[in-house]
Amino acid sequence: MAVEIVMPKLGMGMSEGTVVEWLKNAGDPVKKGESVVVISSDKIEKDVEAPDDGILLKVNADPDDTVPVGEAIGYIGAENESIDDQLAKPEGARSETSAETTPNTVLEDQSEPNKNENTSGRPVLKLRVSPAARKLAKGSNIDVHEVIGTGPHGRITKADVLNVIEAKAKERNTPASIQQSMKDKEPTTQSEKRIAGDDRVKVTPISGMRKVISDRMLKSLQQSAQLTIQMTADVTELISFQKKAREMYQDEEDVRLTITDFVAKATILALKKHPKLNSTFDGTNISTYESVHLGIAVALNEGLVVPVIRDADTLSLSEVSKRIRKMSIDAREGKLAGPDMIGSTFTISSLGTSGVTFFTPVLNPPEIGILGIGSIYDQAVFVGETIEKRRFLPLSLTFDHRIIDGSPASNFLSSLKTYLETPFKIVL
């Protein structure tokens, strides 16, 4: 009997997921544990592995389809094995046409049969439309033949239909005289519309993890009053302290004791001292936590993820170091699960390795604070009557000004600075 590939549940709040890309085609052999499809939730993009060896008999959901958690999105079985009628495509991912679709099957538009009539005897190029795009177009009275597809092989995606809807809305709100003036001036070819006089351009629809990040960042900026304050900490002594500490842990491969580890531990201590920063805001209620659940931003090729160290205030410096290292490795290998990236109360983001000093980190909702770590730089300063070379770490704190005022935010940053400048307090 065929084995189902089901839409996984990546977090407690996840009720449905979106198919991003099939890595295998119907008819391809697959091995148990091999990645066959990429799906995404509102927080993460993840590969789904084959539950058994066999042949990918059927793909039950196309890219851009939204499927309820637990529903089958594909089937694996023996070669030439038939699939019972009751194993039909789930309603939420079913195309409105009667055609069965797989990544190798072109979905032919049948809303206007005359469009595909051919009197020349030559093959007719079929219109490729994702089910989500077709459904949206039908509900918005949009003719899919008017839509320019930007997906693979010219496939029309939901984003393409949304662009047409937006354009028509603007047209309705623009006087006829202005519309005509705009038409007279607009480029006549697709390449001119992209970049005037240059067709050497790659158009990539935003999707998957990048789409999730885009939506969350825009929502964060639109729904909070974000303010960033900055400060530097003299970490000359901390760097010396770090070198000595690393010598003590040189036999433990999973303990690196990086500057980020020290900053993380110092941040935890500062949050315990200033608990208002260890809060979340849902638009109505402020939740202040006794435990510190620290998010550590990790950069990936596809975007950014924020795994969470739960109850970080109960951990020693070496334990914090181990957690950060393990989370970073898991994130880059795609091993993080949904629960690993929810529930943070404060986040740290670092651009130090990129040579950036100060920057403006964007809040990770519903948190009300995020710390940005810059690149350490050298500076000559007076120490008494002599000039010494000291090393400074840039700190950028973004906070929600609806909940926290400048004074308590600066007090938190001052406490963090004190811990970093007197490193023995971090480990006591």
Tell how many helices (H) and how many strands (E) occur in the chain: 10, 19
Cβ distance 7 to 73 under 8 Å? yes
Name the residue with tokens 């959901």.
Answer: 61
153 has catalytic annotation: no
Burial-class residue 185 by CB neighbours within 10 Å (0-12, 13-18, 19+): exposed
- The structure tokens listed for 238 are 């901390």
Q: Residue 410: what pLDDT?
A: 97
Single-letter residue type at 363: L
Q: Residue 153: what pLDDT?
A: 54
**Distance (Å, rounded) from C-alpha 7 to C-alpha 96?**
21
Q: Residue 65: what pLDDT?
A: 82
Written as tens digits, the pLDDT of the chain (428 aa) is 789 999 988 776 678 888 888 989 888 999 998 889 988 876 677 888 999 999 998 898 888 788 898 899 999 988 888 776 545 444 444 433 333 333 333 333 434 444 444 444 444 444 666 656 777 888 888 887 788 877 655 667 777 888 888 777 766 665 665 556 555 555 544 444 455 556 677 878 877 778 878 888 888 999 999 999 999 999 999 999 999 888 887 777 777 789 999 999 999 999 999 999 999 999 999 999 999 999 999 998 878 899 999 999 999 999 999 999 999 999 888 888 878 889 999 999 999 889 999 999 999 999 999 999 999 999 999 988 999 999 999 999 999 999 999 999 999 999 999 999 999 999 88
Q: For residue 121, count other CB atoms closer than 10 A to its CB.
A: 5
- The structure tokens listed for 82 are 């038939």
Q: Where are the alpha helices (DSSP H) in 71-207?
A: 131-139, 158-172, 176-185, 190-194
Cβ distance 145 to 126 under 8 Å? no
**Distance (Å, rounded) from C-alpha 90 to C-alpha 71?**
7
Q: Residue 372: what pLDDT?
A: 97
Centroid of chain to Cα 109? 33
Centroid of chain to Cα 328? 15
**Strands 45-49, 286-288: parallel, antiparallel or unpaired by DSSP?**
unpaired
Strands (E), 318-428: 346-350, 369-373, 377-383, 386-400
**Distance (Å, rounded) from C-alpha 278 to C-alpha 370?**
10
Q: Where are the alpha helices (DSSP H) in 173-300?
A: 176-185, 190-194, 208-222, 236-248, 259-273
Q: Residue 113: what pLDDT?
A: 40
293 has catalytic annotation: no
Q: Residue 213: what pLDDT?
A: 83
Q: Residue 167: what pLDDT?
A: 78
Spatial CA neighbour of 356 closest among 341, 375, 370, 380: 375
**Distance (Å, rounded) from C-alpha 168 to C-alpha 183?**
14
Q: Residue 64: what pLDDT?
A: 76
What structural domains and CATH numbers belong to the chain? Answer: 3-93 (2.40.50.100), 113-206 (4.10.320.10), 210-427 (3.30.559.10)
Q: Residue 96: what pLDDT?
A: 38
Q: Residue 375: what pLDDT?
A: 96
Spatial CA neighbour of 69 closest among 48, 95, 99: 48
- The structure tokens listed for 428 are 């006591």
HSE-CB of 65 using CA atoms within 13 angstroms: 32
